[in-house]
Chains A and B, each alone.
Chain A
């Protein structure tokens, strides 16, 4: 099968891979780049476990053709730490018990980061809306919403 060369920025670093036609971004990231932080949950855009940021906006990697990110910037959970220091959202998720099995967490965090990057002090409703495409089957959504709100107010306090 003919393969296509593909270059993009992945968490701030340039990567180059060869993909089969029709390969989605989730498969490209996990199998070819080796970044296992985006998760497979449905392959149909229904669960949000594969949420990544493309040029700062939240996208579902399972529904994104890999070739469409040529020359763009892709950010995953693997890239949001600052060296050894956790991102404020990661700290807030830990403090607010916003994960149980942890499988939806990478997607939740990326959806939340997309929100906070655009809107530093969202309302509760805006948080609910931002994670409405992400399914959690264990903890319920309340601790997650509280964690995102806490991360937002924490950021404001530091500013």
Chain B
């Protein structure tokens, strides 16, 4: 049996843990070992049709013309679906909580922005006939310059990936092109430090690769509604997203899910349900849309790659006095959930350490890559990877044991965190002590005696004087937002911009990062896997 350390977590709960440390049988285990667990694709419906999608072969291209005449005549084809057939062909996932602008079509209309973007869907009697019809669709593309690097995407003159965000960055509160964290004065901290270490960390995009690929089956029900079997990890999220895209009330749908063949975050984006339901609406028949393995691997959204620059000032005795962070989240061509990842990241700085001067700039950047999405702690995992690598390097730099170095800098009860909340129920010191003990790693006596309950607060509870950034005047966008269904305007001299009055400085929200983090955690906190 494991025991809850009441000396540290007295405020957390007064009962004793009954489950941790004991085996408990999963309620779905018998179904799993007998093969009786019903995944979405285990439903066989009378007259079921099969939907397949034609995807962009280009990372960035204008669509000049789509010719489906030959595909329409292909044997077994019931319906060809174009962007114009989608009732509300522009969406962003977090619009359900009023966050972000609609930036992503269900089927591309005037432009494709990443390799693999869906353009045309075919509903046919069999998967083979759907594939054969797809091969007969002719699309005339005009390839456009593409950008694949987050910092290149922010340079002047970079290709505009997504016209909804002409600066290639997600816009927070309609004004800010990044998440900001300011606490104290890092430059003064660096000036007083004995050592300054600046490093660059780069993550890769990571595919979840669930054994079951993304998919769904939608069927007209006998009561005018549609029953939808789906692999989604986010059932109610998907219901409302489909209601918006298909422009019907959400009670039009009866979603059935819950048994998911692995997700890890890769099944929260409502990738297949809207087209499966639309196919069922247009044909009056059950429609199945399941990713092939290649689609899952190449076009299924990955964990976004992140580039992180860390600059730390440290004293000879091991105290970190300043930490400056600049991070870029590669969102790919559309927002999906990366805007939220950047908020989480900013709220997480500077890691579980008490550092008197902290500075963070976190960007959510658009590139011509596959849109990124949730994956196991996204927004925090990569930052922790960078911070903990940096902690080892800093310990080495000052000649300290890396565990003792973490104990020395760990936050303690009563300390002020950089996002201006008091640290409570902290236990990093005890975690490191227990880990060292288990690993038989020698700690000096004074570090064994340190405690999260002692030495915090006091001067460490103060919010240091922090200079406010000058508000950046809002410049007219380099490229005006275009509506999605309109062909792009011919290049030519722009009409002169009317002189804009000096923008009113937006009242800076007192704690933008913390505020955002709290707002979203109530929505996502208990759901993310």
Could you tell me which A residues sit within 8 Å of B by CB distance?
30-31, 34, 36-37, 39-44, 46-47, 49, 76-78, 81, 86, 90, 93-94, 97, 99, 101-106, 109, 135-138
Interchain CA distance A105-B32 in the complex, whole Å: 7
Chain A hits for B212, CB < 8 A: 39-41, 49, 101, 103
The reply to whether A137 and B34 contact each other, CB–CB distance below 8 Å, is no
Chain A hits for B263, CB < 8 A: 101
Chain B hits for A99, CB < 8 A: 26, 29, 32-33
The reply to whether B33 and A101 contact each other, CB–CB distance below 8 Å, is no
Size of the chain B interface, CB-CB below 8 angstroms: 32
The reply to whether B293 and A103 contact each other, CB–CB distance below 8 Å, is no
Out of A36, A44, A109, A135, name the residue touching B211 (CB < 8 Å): A135
Interchain CA distance A102-B39 in the complex, whole Å: 10
Chain B hits for A135, CB < 8 A: 211
Interchain CA distance A72-B34 in the complex, whole Å: 23
Tell me the interface secondary structure of chain A in the complex: loop
CB distance from A137 to the nearest CB of B (A): 5
Interchain CA distance A146-B271 in the complex, whole Å: 37
Task: Decide if B261 is an interface residue (CB 8 Å cutoff).
Answer: yes
The reply to whether A39 and B32 contact each other, CB–CB distance below 8 Å, is no
Given contacts A31-B44, A39-B212, A103-B211, 15 further A-B contacts (CB under 8 A): A39-B211, A43-B293, A77-B34, A78-B35, A86-B33, A93-B29, A94-B29, A94-B33, A99-B26, A99-B32, A102-B28, A102-B37, A105-B33, A136-B211, A137-B264
Chain B, 204-241, contact with A by CB distance < 8 Å: what is the 0/1 string? 00001111110000000000000000000000000000
Task: Decide if B362 is an interface residue (CB 8 Å cutoff).
Answer: no
Chain B hits for A76, CB < 8 A: 35
Q: Looking across the interface, which residue of chain A has its beta carbon closest to that of B263? A: A101
The reply to whether A93 and B33 contact each other, CB–CB distance below 8 Å, is yes
Task: Decide if B247 is an interface residue (CB 8 Å cutoff).
Answer: no
Interchain CA distance A41-B211 in the complex, whole Å: 5
The reply to whether B33 and A103 contact each other, CB–CB distance below 8 Å, is no
Interchain CA distance A55-B259 in the complex, whole Å: 31
CB distance from B35 to the nearest CB of A (A): 3
Q: Looking across the interface, which residue of chain B has its beta carbon closest to that of A34? A: B44
Out of B23, B42, B262, B292, name the residue touching A101 (CB < 8 Å): B262
Interchain CA distance A101-B267 in the complex, whole Å: 13
CB distance from B289 to the nearest CB of A (A): 14
CB distance from A111 to the nearest CB of B (A): 14
CB distance from B407 to the nearest CB of A (A): 31
Chain B, 147-166, contact with A by CB distance < 8 Å: what is the 0/1 string? 00000000000000000000
Q: Looking across the interface, which residue of chain B has its beta carbon closest to that of A22? A: B128
The reply to whether B34 and A103 contact each other, CB–CB distance below 8 Å, is no
Out of B30, B33, B41, B210, name the residue touching A137 (CB < 8 Å): B210
Chain B hits for A81, CB < 8 A: 34
Among B32, B210, B262, chain A packs the most CB atoms within 10 A around the CB of B32
The reply to whether B260 and A101 contact each other, CB–CB distance below 8 Å, is yes
Task: Decide if B470 is an interface residue (CB 8 Å cutoff).
Answer: no
Interchain CA distance A102-B210 in the complex, whole Å: 11
The reply to whether A41 and B39 contact each other, CB–CB distance below 8 Å, is no
Chain B hits for A106, CB < 8 A: 35
Interchain CA distance A102-B28 in the complex, whole Å: 9
Chain A hits for B293, CB < 8 A: 41-44, 46-47
The reply to whether A137 and B29 contact each other, CB–CB distance below 8 Å, is no
Interchain CA distance A46-B297 in the complex, whole Å: 13
Chain B, 35-74, contact with A by CB distance < 8 Å: what is the 0/1 string? 1011101101000000000000000000000000000000
